[in-house]
Amino acid sequence: MSSSVKPQAVASLLAATIQPAWGAWSRARNLLVGLALLALLPSPRCSAADSAPDAALFHDEIRPILQTYCFDCHGDGAHKGNVAFDEFKSDQSVLTNRDLWFKALKNLRAGMMPPVKKPQPSPEQRQEIAQWIKSAVFCIDPANPDPGRVTVRRLNRVEYRNTIRDLMGVKYDTQSEFPPDDTGYGFDTIGDVLTISPMLLEKYLIAAQKIVDEAVPEKKEGAKPKVYGRFFPKDPPAKSKERRAYAREVLADFARKAFRRPVDEKTVNRLAALAEETYSRSGKTFESGIGEAMVAVLASPRFIFREEGTGAPSGPGGDPLVDEYALASRLSYFLWSSMPDEELMRLAAEGHLRQDLPAQMERMLKDKRSEDFVRNFTGQWLRARDIDNVQIEERDVLAREHGTNREMDKTRKRFHELERKPEDLLTKEEKQEKDDLRSSFFKRFGAPLDPGLNSELRRAMREETEDVFGYVVHEDRSLLELIDSDYTFLNERLAHQYGITNVTGKEMRRVTLPPDSQRGGVLTEGTVLAVTSNPTRTSPVKRGLFILDSILGTPPPPPPANIPPLEDAAKGLTNDAPSLRAILAAHRANALCASCHNRMDPLGLAMENFNALGLWRTNEFNQPIDGSGTLLTGESFSSVQQLKRILVEKHAKDFYRTLTEKMLTYAVGRGLDYSDVETVDQIVSRIEKANGRASALLDGIVDSAPFQKCRPAPSARPAKLPSLSFNKS
Amino acid sequence: MSRKHNSIEASAVQSPTSFNRRHFLRGLGACVALPAFASLLPTRLMASSSAGKLALTSTGAPLRAAFLYFPNGAIPDAWWPKEQGADFELSKTLQPLAECRKNLQIFGGLDDRSAQPDEDGAGDHARANGTFLTGVRLKKSATDLHAGISIDQVLAREIGSVTRFPSLELTCETERPSGICDSGYSCAYQYNLSWSSPTTPMTAESNPRLVFERLFGAGPPGQRVENLRRRRQEQRSILDFVMQDARSFERRLNAGDQAKLDQYLTGVRELEVRIHAAEKLGDPKDPMAPTPAGVPATYGEHMDLMFDILTLAFQTDSTRVASLLLAHDGSNRSFSDIGVSEGHHDLSHHFNNEEKMRKVAEIDQWYVKQLASFLRKLDQVKDTDGHSLLHNSMIVYGSGNADGNRHTHVNLPIILAGAGGGTLTPGRHITQPSVPASNLFLSMADRMGVRNLPRFGESTGRLSDV
């Protein structure tokens, strides 16, 4: 990017040349936005001027290591996977090819490269390469990692609901009133994709009206409603001048809470004027006037978006800290999915929040509101939210394990017939028949009575995932217990699904698992097992992908656009109903598929003993299930239990890093890139030093540069954007 | 850890005036079925000189366009009729349309090449969905959205001012999966058909109650118009306030954030325009049917209810433009109701297994059956000019995937239903010589009265024979 070109000038030039036809504004606007964004790209922290030493280091130290261990496939004319380390056009292009080095760093650290059967560099050499990539290519200053830039975030629908609950004392069901939020990098907290369509804006306005209607009491003759004091500390004075002052007082306080930072005089004046305009009309009460102004506050972009201010610079050459109000909101939306409470606001006002962080973190995690963090984070990281809607057809799932025969097919067909008939059209006999068929069906399978995912079971599964994570966080346990543990959280229904006895009642509680249990850890939780399945069967590929993406942080690239037909490979299979293992083996026979499926399939196949309903099973289509496998990194296992042990013993660091990346993404509301490598590394080493304790992760995130600071705003202001309105009058 | 305290999700605020769906349908069904239900007709036609020839038929009735999307393509052999022209026999998948075949054009040879992989690799479902109405190559990114303005929004911009709502965006998808969508594409591409700008998806509404309340007002029959008026009254002063507030907020934002605020401001302006339009065009007629209770229990009922409401929206001339996503491309829904319990997407990669192909074709036919029921509703309502709503409409039904098994995007399954107010020649199966689907959209835009639109998406011209 050339710095001599002023984006505004270019933009206005371009805008002027565009014919004022339909859509021109929209195109012009995008150009403007695009150019304005260009100006915001991170300025490299090490300039080209001092690239010579970095390039020299590459020639003298790094290249020889790569030559020894990598050039077989990625040099000397070989460029497997389109990667070659000796085809740079210049020294400069060695240093500017960040995507390549980012990939190389990930593969090197995950033990994916060099492949396990090839000669391996020493740990020191690995470290040296990683260090060079971070400092020379990524220009990272470990004392001052890049905080990155986060787009202003609007409240997502969970945050909106909780904020309204805490601000207004009203339950507003955003789940059904608002459309689902778009997600990015797997989370619904990402500023870039939290868009506002005209419909959503309209919904915000209607919501504000409904909420105020419900929350703000109209004072009746005599008796005051219970919640009166929440909004009105005293009765409105009679004289109009005092009334006005009182309105200002009430509204200034309300707006401060709602905007999560102090409000300026001008805003308060406008709010008070709005209120007065209403309450001075005949038949209108003072309270209804205040209510009107409150609606305006709730519809304001300052409520819907989280405005952040910049505070003091963090030290010489450092990026500025966000101000303490912004920090209060970052904390409360991270740990509560809601607005800051009075204590956080007070500390921010006094400028003491930063110094009081450890105590505040502890207090916030003890607060009930932290359950929302647990629910929203596990809901998305582990996809536990999806259990509410995942479609699993229990009869088809079970039929795979118990084979099919003519009599059973007949029973199923009859059952389906009865099922298709609307309930109120069934005769009494037919109802009885349907019930009988259902119970005989499940009895034959030896399955729990109705093993299907009804709402009770779905809820128990979701709570298991939440409770295990919540326990690790709240009790400050080792994060590795999320992978492998001798306990989980169950109620009677879920224990039954898992074949665990002596758990009675609907309450979820911590249960120590029998020594030979296959459960414990997220991989064998009902949520994960079900949401990674297809409606009628397990999907070892989806399950493997889940582990790679959510646990190990090494997702394979997406499949090629034109998947070669499987049937050619499957033709060689003689069995009528080949196992998924056999089909996948045939698939991997194709070299194009093998490179990724070799990574996914062994992980997913290790979980084959659990069907799509999360039930334990030992065979499918009358063949015993084989849960053994070998990871691409070389470790072999014979069961999912052993796989869990391997993950804990050999891949703890990969897991720490993955979890850190996921949680940091969730907390700061943007995707991570190469400039965040150092931040993540620092948190991971903090976790390692603390023997994996959850507090090290949470504290590490809150203390990190992306959480504490912001990239300084560019001084150049973009050109005023033209109006999008299609119907200017 | 303490037990869950939060059961807000479970206690959905139910409006006291809402009834169950059967109730609603009976009420609404009556409106929809009775051609003589004249009270629902708009009070006056928008044939005023100021509106010009916007979305009007030659007889002065409103002309409507709707775009319906079904997922994962269709089994080609079961979809395509063998004969060309007017004398064709309905294929197996299209059987449910027998009753209204004289109102259909089945188009072959329409392509969506912007959905093809080219340099972008995997992600055919996200692309199929995101390009269907936009006809532009999507930016492959999880967060940096860039598509194009969709054809329905082009229409809405041009003719939206003649109705109370410029357009309606509807969906039968109530939830989004958590985690990551198709191969590095943002979920926004895969769940939105309509885009008002390349960076702003028009989030669609899935809750029938909310669509209904938006159109006709909240509350019991008889009180809705009053409620709409009251809300509007309040909103005027609020909008003034937030507009000013947004300006002062804007001054404190940096450039990347201004794009977000711009979306907010666009929303404010559009709402102002809507309030203005409501006052100019008059209040809607209250359908006097009970408000739908929410999202019905089954998918079929949900879709049916959306069709009812869309019919009602057209009938009351609340809007003339709509999009409806029946399911996102890549949908893995199971159809145990019709004996197909495997996931749709899973099955669609059938690898030429006959059993699986048969099942996919059954799902394809199920969707077509829903379309048939919608067209029947439209056909039963008499419009202001004595023709049926269907006659005065152009309903596109299609998918951005052709053969779901191989992810192809040429020769898409697309049906255009309705006579476009007499400007179309329905009752035919016509195969085009491989042209962009955008050409069809351009031809529709002409009929809707859109001027100065030389191109759209990947168009190479107008469709010559529609």
Cα angle for residues A399, A404, A410 (degrees, 5° grid): 100
Predicted local confidence at residue A433, as pLDDT:
87
The number of residues in chain B equals 466
In this structure, are B49 and B168 located in the same domain? yes
Flag if A26 and B261 touch (Cβ within 8 Å): no
Taking the C-alpha atoms of residue A386 and residue A266, their distance in angstroms, rounded to an integer, is: 46
Q: What percent of chain A has pLDDT over 90?
A: 64
Confidence of residue B36 (pLDDT cuts 50, 70, 90): very low
Find the range with the poorest average confidence among A451-455, A724-728, B60-64, B427-431. A724-728
Structural domain that includes position B230: 218-283
Which range is least confidently modeled, A383-397, A451-465, B34-48, B402-416?
B34-48
Q: What's the structural domain count of chain A?
A: 3
Its domain, for residue A415, covers 394-451
Whether B222 and B190 map to the same domain: the answer is: no
User: Torsions phi, psi of B137, nearest 5?
Assistant: -70, 135
The verdict on B232 and B193 lying in the same domain is no
- Residues of B with Cβ-Cβ distance to A565 under 8 angstroms: 351-352
Average pLDDT, chain B: 88
- Report CB contact under 8 Å: B122, A534: no
For residue B205, what is the domain's CATH number? 3.40.720
**pTM for the complete prediction?**
0.88
Q: Summarize pLDDT for A357-407 with one digit per residue, the tens.
A: 999 999 999 999 999 999 999 999 999 999 999 999 888 898 888 765 566
Distance separating alpha carbons of residues B307 and B324, to the nearest angstrom: 9
Quick check: is B2 in a domain? no
E strand or H helix at B197? strand B195-197
pLDDT digits (tens, 9 = 90+) for A680-728: 999 999 999 999 999 999 999 999 999 999 987 654 333 333 333 332 2
Instruction: Assess contact for A58 and A91: CB atoms under 8 A.
Output: yes
- Is there a contact between B466 and B427 (Cβ–Cβ < 8 Å)? no
Look at chain B and report how many structural domains it folds into.
2
Is-contact B463 B161, C-beta < 8 A?
A: no
Determine the residue of chain B that is closest to A533 in CA distance. Answer: B343
Note whether A14 and A57 are same-domain residues: no
Residue B170 backbone class (left: φ over 0; alpha: ψ -120 to 50; beta: rest): beta
Taking 70 as the threshold, does the pLDDT of residue B406 lie above it? yes
A93 and A34 in one domain? no
> Quick check: A410 pLDDT over 80?
no
Question: Of chain A residues 25-44, which have a CB less than 8 A from chain B?
Answer: 26, 29-30, 33, 36-37, 39-40
Percent of chain A exceeding pLDDT 70 equals 85
Q: How far apart are CA A453 and CA A497, in angstroms?
A: 10
The CA distance from B367 to B172, in Å, is 12
Per residue in B437-463, pLDDT tens? Answer: 999 999 999 999 999 999 999 999 999
Following DSSP, what letter does each residue of A586-651 receive, concatenated?
HHHTSHHHHHHHHHHHHHHHTTTTB-TTS-B-SEETTEE----EE-TTS-EESSHHHHHHHHHHHS
DSSP annotation of B400 reads S
| Closest to B158 (Cα-Cα) out of B21, B51, B85, B15 | B51
Cβ atoms of B351 and B284 within 8 Å: the answer is no
Q: Say if A463 is an interface residue toward chain B (CB within 8 Å).
A: yes
Last residue of a domain, one of A434, A451, A468: A451
A292 inside 8 A of chain B by CB: yes
Is the predicted pLDDT of residue A46 greater than 50, yes or no? yes
* Mean of all residue pLDDT scores within chain A: 86
Q: Which amino acid is at B425?
A: T
A445 within a domain of the structure (yes/no): yes
Q: Is residue A292 part of a domain?
A: no
Sign of CA dihedral B107, B408, B98, B89: positive
Q: B403 to each of A19, A684, B73, B265, how far by Cα in Å? A: 40, 46, 5, 41
Read off the tokens for A261.
Answer: 């930072």
Distance in angstroms (rounded) separating the CA atoms of residues B137 and A484: 45
Strands B414-417 and B104-111 come out as antiparallel
Residue to mutate among A40, A164, A183, A538, with most B CBs inside 10 A, is: A183
Q: Is the pLDDT of residue A315 over 80?
A: no
* Distance between A300 CA and the closest CA of chain B, angstroms: 5
- Interchain CB distance below 8 Å, A558 and B160: no
Place of tokens 């990667």: A83
**What integer is the mean pLDDT of A196-222?**
88
pLDDT at A663 over 60: yes
Residue A145 phi/psi, 5-degree rounding, is -65, 150
Name the closest residue on chain A to residue B408, using Cα atoms: A562
Cα–Cα distances (Å) from B451 to A22, B54, B136, B159, B448, in that order, read 9, 10, 21, 10, 9
Quote the Cα angle for B231-B259-A372, to 5°: 70
> Cβ–Cβ contacts within 10 Å for residue A668, how many?
25
pLDDT of residue B247: 86
Q: Is B261 left (phi over 0), alpha (psi -120 to 50) or beta?
A: alpha
B25, pLDDT greater than 70: no
One domain for residues A18 and A66: no
Regarding whether A58 and A111 lie in a shared domain, the answer is: yes
Among A25, A26, A158, A197, most B C-beta atoms within 10 A, so best to mutate, is A197
* DSSP string for residues in B350-361: -TT-HHHHHHHH
Which of A185, A386, A391 minimises the CB distance to B143?
A185
Chain B residues in contact with A175 by the CB 8 A cut-off are: 8-9, 12
Q: Would you say the C-alpha torsion A674, B121, B327, A580 has a positive or negative sign?
A: negative
Same domain, B237 and B362: no
Whether A672 shows a pLDDT value over 70: the answer reads yes
Task: Clarify whether residues A105 and A85 are in a common domain.
Answer: yes
Cross-chain Cβ contact A725/B273 below 8 Å: yes
Give the one of A30, A201, A725 whose C-beta lies nearest to B198's C-beta: A30
Strand partners, A322: A310
Nearest of A298, A356, A363, A302 to residue A332 by alpha carbon: A363
A170 φ, ψ (degrees, to nearest 5): -125, 140
Residue whose tokens read 């790209």: A41
**A372 and chain B in contact, CB less than 8 A:** yes
In a domain, B266, yes or no: yes
The answer to whether residue A81 is domain-embedded is yes
pLDDT for B50 equals 42
The total of other beta-carbon atoms located within 10 Å of residue A59's CB is 11
Residues A122 and A81 reside in one and the same domain: yes
Test B246 with A474 for CB contact under 8 angstroms.
Answer: no
In this complex, is the C-beta atom of A23 within 8 Å of any C-beta atom belonging to chain B?
yes
Between the alpha carbon of residue A700 and those of residues A474, A544, A672, A694, the distances in Å are 16, 29, 16, 10
Confidence check: pLDDT of A40 > 80: no
Q: Is the ipTM of this complex over 0.95?
A: no
DSSP-assigned letter for residue B11: S
Domain co-membership, B371 together with B257: no
